Structure 1
C-alpha cells in the first residue's frame, strides 16, 4: 500500500489559493515550502496597517463558510479554533438616492421589504430564490472538479446542469425575468462586479452569486478576512510546512519539460518535486518562466485574453464612529452608463458607484477605541484602458473623497481622517503583481470558463498545478478555495501513481537481481 508522500512541494505565492493548497498538502505529509514576495501572507487579500488602523487589502466578507469549514477539516483542524465569524444582518445596505434596500437571509422579511420599496416584486424574488436553488444544486458539482479535457463536457453532471446554466444569456437579462424595477435588478446583478464584469455581459450562470448571498449569508471574521489567511498559515506550520515571506520567486526552473525547482530573487536555488503556482496568473506566466518555455501563454496571447475591471481604493483611519452599516453600496445615478464606462469604454466615470466597508461597526479590533477603519472601493477600468494613473491618482482620490462627502452619513468626513492611503490599478500591478491591475483576474466570459479556463494541472510544464482566481473554477474566495482542493487532489493522485509505478519497477528490478 502506498502511504503518505515525503515529496517536496514548493508553493509560489501565499494568497488564498496557495495557502489553502499548502495547508491540504502539508496535512497529507508533503514537505511544503511557501514563498511569498510580500511581507505578509494573503496576497491581494492580506492585511494593511496604517498607524494604529488595520484593513483588509482586498476581500471583505466570507460567503458559504461551510466550504471553509470543510477545508480546515480536511487538514485535521477546526476553523472555529482559529477564527471567530460573525454573521451580518442585514447583508448590506444598497443606496439608490433616497431609497435604501437592506436585504437579509430571512426570505419572508426580505420579500416584505421588497414589497414595501418596490411594490409587486415580492413574488418575483421568491421565484428567483426557488429557481436558483435548483440551479445551484446542479452547478456546484461543476465547481468542485477539474475540466481538463473536452470529454469533461459530456459527463453526467454537465448534462444535468446544462438546462439551468444559462451560459448564453446574461445576468441582467436573467434578473429582468423576475423584477420590473430597475433598482431591484441592480440589487441582484451588481454581484457581477465580484467577477470584475458587467451584468449586461456576464454569463447568466452567475446569477447564483446574489442567490448565494441571500441563501447562505455573509460573514465577517473578527480581525478581517486576512485573519482567515493567517490561520491557514498557522495550520501549515503546525503540519511542518514553512512559509517564507519577503522572499520572491525569480524563476521556475524547468528541465526536460518538467519543473525542477525555483530560483529565488535572493539568488538561492530551491529543489522541489512538484510546484503549485498561487501567484496572479498573468504575472506568473509573463515573469516566472524563461522566454520560449511557454507556448500557450506567450505575452502576445496573454494580452489578447479578457481581464476583469480594476479598483481604485481608499483606506481611511477615521476619528469617531461612522454611521453606516458594515457594507454599503452607493449606486451611480446612471448605473448602466457607469458600468459601460468601466468595462467597455475604458474611461473614468463622472458619476461613479462606490462601495464602503465599515467593519469597525461590529469589530473593535481594527481601530483604536472610538475610531473607525473605513475601506472605500470604486470600480475602474483595468490598465488596458491606457489611463495615466501617475497623473490621475491624485484627482481620483480627491473625487472619491468628494463622493463620500456627498453621502449624508459621511458629511464632514475629510476633517476626521487621521490615516489615509490611496491605491490605484497601477499600484495593484506594481506593488502586488496583479497583471493589468485586473483585481478580479481573468474575466469569466464563455471563452474563459471551465475547460477554456487555464487548467488546474498546468498544460505547459509537467509537475506544476495552478490555484487561484486565474484557473478553474474562477475568482472569488469560495471558488479559489475550491481550486486549491481540486489541484491538491490532482497533485496527490499524480504522486501516488508515480510512486506506485516506481514501486513496481523497483520490485521487478529486485526480482531480476535475486534470480
Structure 2
C-alpha cells in the first residue's frame, strides 16, 4: 500500500538549509512506468523523490481496474526485454525476480486472417522457419535475411541509440551514415516487402509498430528490430499483470524513502531564472524541488505544464504540426463458465480484417472510422487465474482507431456502443462463438478516455508517432531545452513508446542526472551544454 510519509534518505538531516533540502528533492510528474522507473533511478542516486499522479494507483496506462471479480489490465500486456527491468532493479540493489513473477509465453501470439490461415509466433528459430515454410515455402530465404536485418538494427537502434541521450545535434550527425546505410528512410512494411512476397508474411513481419503507435507503411524500418528483440528475449507475462510490476516499482521507491501523492494533479511546472523550481498542483499547493522529471505526455508537458513559459523549441505550433499515434478502442469484458471453452483462443491473438494497408490508411491518414477492423485479443486468464473468478475468463479486445486530432473527429459518445457491437460480431465469428450469452462484465475505453484519464493529446494511445523525423534527436529530448533541471521520460520522448522504451528513457535519465544532494542547482545540465 502506498504511503505518504515515507522516511527520508540518510543525507536529508545533514542539509543545512531549506534551500539545500529543496535542491536534493526531485519531483516526478506521473506514476506511469517511465515515471516509476525514473523515481527508482533517482532514489538510487540519493535523491529524495516525490511522485505525483492524478490516478488512485501507480502504473498510469499500466494500471488496472477490477470490476465484477475481473481484473482488467488497462494498457500494456506484453513484457519484452525483461533484462531492462532486471537492470533497473539491480541499480537499486534489488532483485527483480524476487519482486515480480514473470512467465515466458510459448507461443507468443497467433495471427489469423479472414481466409482461415494463421501464423504462430514463437521464440524457437526452427519453429519460426517452419511457420514461414508452411505459409510460403518460397519466402524462407527472404525470412532468413529479414532476421539478419532485424538483428543489425537491434544492436544499433536499441542497444546503442535507445540507451543513450540524443539531445545534441552532434549526436544525430554521428549516426546519420548508419541511418543511410541501413535505409532508415524505408518503411517497416517496405523492408518486409523486399524480403518476402506473401502478403500475409509481409503483415506478420511489419505490424509491430502498431504496438507503439506507428503506421507500418510510414514508420522507419529501424523498427524491424522488434523481431530480433522478441526472438532474443522472448515474450512474457507478469503474474498479476503489468499493474503488479508497477506496484513492485512503487514499493522499491518507498523503500528508498520516496513518497507518493496520488489523486493529485500537477497544474504547472514552476520555472524561475531559467530553472525548474518545482510544481504547482491543481488547488494551489506548491512543492519545491531541485529538479523536475515529467512522465506526463511530452505534448501535455510543454503545452499545458509550461504554458506560461516562452519556449524556444517545443512551441504549441510545432507540437500541433507533429503526427500523433493512433487512438485505441478497447473493450474489456468478463465471461462466465468459459475457462474450458474456446481452446484455440490463447493468451494473445491478432485477428486481421480484410484490408491491411487500406485500414491503416483510414486510421492514420484519413482519420476515418472504418466499417472493418483488426483486433488484438488478450486472454490473460489462460495464464493467470487471478484475473477472473474460478471457471471464468477475462479478456480485452483492442482496435486501432483514429485519434481525435483530425478535422472531423469520431464522436465516441454516439459511436462507442455501435462499434462495440461490431467488435462483438467479429469476435463471435472468428474466435469466440457464443460470446454474447457469456458476458458478465463490460467496460469500454475510447480515445476520449485516453484524453481525459491520461491527459493524452488528441486521445492518442502512444503519444508522438515514431516516424523517422520524429525519432531520436527529432523527438522531445530527455533533458529539456526549455528549463534547466527539467527532464522528460516516457512514451513521448526518446527512445519512444512501449515497455522497453519507457524503461530505457529512465535509464537515459540516470546518465544525465548527477548524484544528490545538490547544494547548487546551477550544476544541473542544460541540453545546450
Whether these two folds match at TM > 0.5 is yes
Distance of 1:494 and 1:166 partners within structure 2: 42
Superposed CA offset, 1:363-386 (max 9, x none): 111111111110110000000122
Shift of 1:301: 2.5
Superposed CA offset, 1:6-41 (max 9, x none): 710011000011100001111221100000100111
Preserved CA contact (<8 Å) 1:4 1:28 = no
Secondary structure at 2:27 match in 1: strand
Q: 1:495 to 1:209 in 2, by over 3 A?
A: farther
Matching residue of 2:3: none
Distance of 1:217 and 1:67 partners within structure 2: 13
Shift of 1:285: 2.0
Matching residue of 2:351: 330
Superposed CA offset, 1:94-119 (max 9, x none): 00121111121100111012212222
Shift of 1:497: 10
Shift of 1:235: 0.2
Q: 1:28 to 1:200 in 2, by over 3 A?
A: same
1:470 aligns with 2:492: yes
TM-score, normalising length: structure 2: 0.90
Shift of 1:165: 3.5
Superposed CA offset, 1:305-349 (max 9, x none): 110011101000111225211100001111111111111111111
1:91 aligns with 2:78: no
Shift of 1:483: 0.7
Task: Please say which of residues 228-237 and 388-397 is displaced more in the overlay.
Answer: 388-397
Distance of 2:474 and 2:523 partners within structure 1: 31
Secondary structure at 1:305 match in 2: coil
Shift of 1:353: 0.4
Preserved CA contact (<8 Å) 1:34 1:243 = yes
- Counterpart pick for 1:143 among 139, 156, 162: 162
1:394 aligns with 2:411: no
Matching residue of 1:509: none
1:358 aligns with 2:379: yes
- Counterpart pick for 1:414 among 429, 433, 436: 436
Secondary structure at 1:316 match in 2: strand
**Matched ranges for 1:283-362 at <5 A:** 283-319=300-336, 320-321=338-339, 323=342, 324-362=345-383
Superposed CA offset, 1:148-191 (max 9, x none): 22111344xx2674355421111111111221100011001111
Preserved CA contact (<8 Å) 1:359 1:373 = yes
Matching residue of 1:35: 52
Secondary structure at 1:279 match in 2: coil
Matching residue of 1:505: none
Matching residue of 1:381: 402
Preserved CA contact (<8 Å) 2:150 2:227 = no
Preserved CA contact (<8 Å) 2:28 2:49 = yes
Distance of 1:233 and 1:379 partners within structure 2: 30
Matching residue of 1:506: none
1:430 aligns with 2:452: yes
Superposed CA offset, 1:256-313 (max 9, x none): 2211111112332111111000111222222212434434333333211110011101
Matching residue of 2:72: 55
Matching residue of 2:16: none
* Consecutive aligned runs of 4 or more in structure 1 exceeding 4 Å deviation: 3-6, 493-502
Cα RMSD after superposing both structures = 2.0
- Counterpart pick for 2:505 among 456, 480, 483: 483
Task: Please say which of residues 265-274 and 351-360 is displaced more in the overlay.
Answer: 265-274
Distance of 2:27 and 2:309 partners within structure 1: 23
Distance of 1:117 and 1:309 partners within structure 2: 30
Preserved CA contact (<8 Å) 1:39 1:245 = yes
Q: For this pair of structures, how many residues does the alignment match?
A: 497
- Counterpart pick for 1:209 among 226, 230, 248: 226
Q: 1:131 to 1:445 in 2, by over 3 A?
A: closer
Shift of 1:123: 2.2
Matching residue of 2:238: 221
Preserved CA contact (<8 Å) 2:147 2:227 = no
Shift of 1:122: 2.1
Q: 1:401 to 1:150 in 2, by over 3 A?
A: same
* Unaligned ranges ≥5, structure 2: 1-9, 13-20, 525-529
Preserved CA contact (<8 Å) 1:189 1:210 = no
Shift of 1:70: 0.7
Preserved CA contact (<8 Å) 2:53 2:263 = yes
